[in-house]
Structure 1
Amino acid sequence: MISPTVTIKPILLPNALNVQVDMLMLNELHPLISGNKYFKLLYNISQAQAQGATTLVSMGGAYSNHLVALAVAGYTQGFKTKAYIRGEKNEVLNSHLSICAQHNMELEYVSRTVYATLRNNYTPQNPNEYWIPEGGGNALGAVGCEHIPKFTLLNTITAHYNFDINSTTPTNELFTNNYYNYCVCACGTGTTLAGIIRALQHTQVHTLGIQVLKGNNYLTNELIQKYNITPCALWSINEDFHCGGYAKTPTYLTEFVQQQSVVHNVALENIYTGKMLYAVHQLLHQNYFKPNSRILLIQSGGVH
């Protein structure tokens, strides 16, 4: 069951500019279909149902939160699910793949070379298959993520039940009346960021993406070319806090995440949300944000 409410928690990061920081706890939506994964799947599952597909197919690494969400969502919605897993099979499944298997997901292990080929050129094997790219990173995933700011309330977020869609819900007044000045999220594929940018395009809120992978301008180019996001002053991507690259966890990051998790009683991990909070912490010290502004951080889930 998808929770009808999630909380917005204050994050007390000392700064000289009286900047208020809050965190939208999307991980509270569901223990396994959590955070942005739920929104990325929302329209993809709806489209699969409309096409009469019976099997949802995707791909990911052995610790993919996307695959966990897909397995559980597909199971609850009556779909078969299949995933191509990058790398060799271990004798004992890890916690992520165990959840996938428990929800009847078919797991096929492929080499990195084959994986790269599938990622770039996958063709459904039969008409009953519906393909969802790695990480849920497609146009429908971005459309689903437009709902993240639309459903933001001061203390709660109203979510869809059972993947029903209500696309007419307006962007919440906390953004349109400029209660929040910044919306910040961690970025891998850029799908979540693209959806949030679109949802806030008629407000004065600045959307800031914290890139968790190495690479100059790759994510900016992805937003422009893949998601048709127009460059403007109301969104930006910071590339300085990948901490060595995707899934790299230097000691200073690990210690920061552990400390902040305890201090604020929030679920964080080192790959996405921890890097986002670390980036904001550093940017506050660099006086990046305007004085007296309010920032909403997106806790995008993925903590099991």
Structure 2
Amino acid sequence: MAQRSTLSPSEGDLLSRLLQSKPISWSAKTPLQRVMLPLFEAHNVELYIKREDLIDSRLSGNKLYKLYGHLQRAQQLEAKGLASFGGYHSNHLHALAYAGAALGLNTKARIRGFQPNQLSPTLIDCQQQGMELEFGSRRSFTDLKQQCLEASEAATLDDRGYYWIPEGGGALEGSQGCRAIIAGIHRQADKLSLSDYKLCVPSGTGTTAAGLLSGLSEGDELYVYSALKLGQKAEAYKAEIEAQSGAHGRQLTLFDETDFGGFAKTKPELFHFMERFTASTGILLDPIYTAKMFYRIERQVGEGVWSSGDKIVAIHTGGLQGRRGFPQLMNNDTLVSTAMNK
């Protein structure tokens, strides 16, 4: 049986008010920060970072935005609980557990893989917020995920009254809230007299990219940095983002993950880059999404992909809690703890 949430009444009230506000208000509060890095300055390329990692440490980045439409749908259906899928270090499940606890809704998750001897820090957090965890083989995970995806698309609840959210917070409901990110960037860019910029975002399910694409203004360009090694599936992946956005024909460029071997794969040079980036900017990155995007952008600057005078706006999608799953980053525990408690 799942335990009760460890959130204090004041923490629960704070998160509840955040979740019940509009996504555009979230984006308005996260800064669009100019960052000065030697290689960028040498090539006369300006870098700005949309700091969605600063919304809330428990619901940080695009995870909160992707939950918005699903929470609205669950409320319409009068769901008794929320359920979803994910891995041992899932940012999505982490955010869902805290959202459910704050809103007084039961939560459960089907985890990809059998139960380990020691739960990951992410799953410990989820469990402490009352989330019911179920483990099973990868095959059964895939089969159940498909069944529940069909139920979600049909806007039906399961026999326990749970509303199932696709893995990663995907589907149209997930992309709805992400449109507010681009709206916030447009407003902040106007105040900075920033125009003709290239918008960059890391991507897993493609949900955030779809939401951004749907909100692009004429002349905007979106550059999507996949966390997946897509290979021959790249065109299908890009087409799915365009279909979900309903914005065919808008400027979208997709970069495959070719540097580190695929999703959640790393090499020592990635961790070295993360340390250097944080030392120069004071900004922490996660090794799955944001670090790989900024690594690739910097390499592209050196290769001349970006031209002198270009302005890049890159979205920090949060996910810092996932750093705890990488022993290579444990020397930075204090930094992570500090950042996650701002």
TM-score, length-normalised on structure 1?
Answer: 0.87
Higher helix share: 2
Q: Is the 8 A contact 1:56 1:81 kept in 2?
A: yes
Structure 1 residue 183 corresponds to structure 2 residue 233:
no
Distance 1:10 1:208, change over 3 A: same
Structure 1 residue 69 corresponds to structure 2 residue 95:
yes
The number of residues matched between the two structures is: 284
Distance 1:246 1:33, change over 3 A: same
Shift of 1:270: 1.2
Q: Is the 8 A contact 1:178 1:205 kept in 2?
A: no
Question: Partner amino acid for 2:223?
Answer: L
Q: Is the 8 A contact 1:174 1:180 kept in 2?
A: no
Structure 1 residue 211 corresponds to structure 2 residue 187:
no
**Separation in structure 2 between the aligned mates of residue 172 and residue 5 of structure 1, nearest angstrom:** 11
SS in 2 for 1:151: helix
**Separation in structure 2 between the aligned mates of residue 240 and residue 46 of structure 1, nearest angstrom:** 33
**Separation in structure 2 between the aligned mates of residue 257 and residue 273 of structure 1, nearest angstrom:** 10
**Separation in structure 2 between the aligned mates of residue 175 and residue 112 of structure 1, nearest angstrom:** 47
Partner of 2:274: 257
Structural mapping, 1:122-133, within 5 Å: 122=148, 123=151, 124-126=157-159, 128-133=161-166
Shift of 1:196: 0.6
Structure 1 residue 192 corresponds to structure 2 residue 208:
yes
**Separation in structure 2 between the aligned mates of residue 45 and residue 294 of structure 1, nearest angstrom:** 35
Q: Is the 8 A contact 1:9 1:25 kept in 2?
A: yes
Shift of 1:231: 3.6
Q: Could you report, residue by residue, the CA deviation over 1:259-278 in whole angstroms, capped at 9, with x for unpaired residues?
A: 11221110101110000100
Partner of 1:148: 181
Structure 1 residue 52 corresponds to structure 2 residue 78:
yes
Percent sequence identity is: 30
Q: Is the 8 A contact 1:58 1:131 kept in 2?
A: yes
Q: Could you report, residue by residue, the CA deviation over 1:95-134 in whole angstroms, capped at 9, with x for unpaired residues?
A: 1001101110010001100111122222453262111000
Structure 1 residue 237 corresponds to structure 2 residue 263:
no
**Separation in structure 1 between the aligned mates of residue 167 and residue 313 of structure 2, nearest angstrom:** 27
**Separation in structure 2 between the aligned mates of residue 180 and residue 91 of structure 1, nearest angstrom:** 51
**Separation in structure 2 between the aligned mates of residue 91 and residue 246 of structure 1, nearest angstrom:** 24
Structural mapping, 1:79-98, within 5 Å: 79-98=105-124
Partner of 2:240: 222
Q: Is the 8 A contact 2:60 2:95 kept in 1?
A: yes
Distance 1:31 1:240, change over 3 A: closer
Shift of 1:254: 1.6
Question: Partner amino acid for 1:302?
Answer: G
Question: Partner amino acid for 1:278?
Answer: Y
SS in 2 for 1:257: helix
Shift of 1:293: 2.1
Partner of 2:189: 174
Distance 1:173 1:11, change over 3 A: closer
Distance 1:85 1:242, change over 3 A: farther
Stretches of structure 1 lacking an aligned partner (at least 5 in a row): 153-170
SS in 2 for 1:297: strand
Distance 1:227 1:9, change over 3 A: closer
SS in 2 for 1:40: helix
Q: Could you report, residue by residue, the CA deviation over 1:134-171 in whole angstroms, capped at 9, with x for unpaired residues?
A: 0001111111100111123xxxxxxxxxxxxxxxxxx5
**Separation in structure 1 between the aligned mates of residue 46 and residue 90 of structure 2, nearest angstrom:** 32
SS in 2 for 1:18: coil
Stretches of structure 2 lacking an aligned partner (at least 5 in a row): 1-13, 19-25, 152-156, 322-342
TM-score, length-normalised on structure 2?
Answer: 0.78
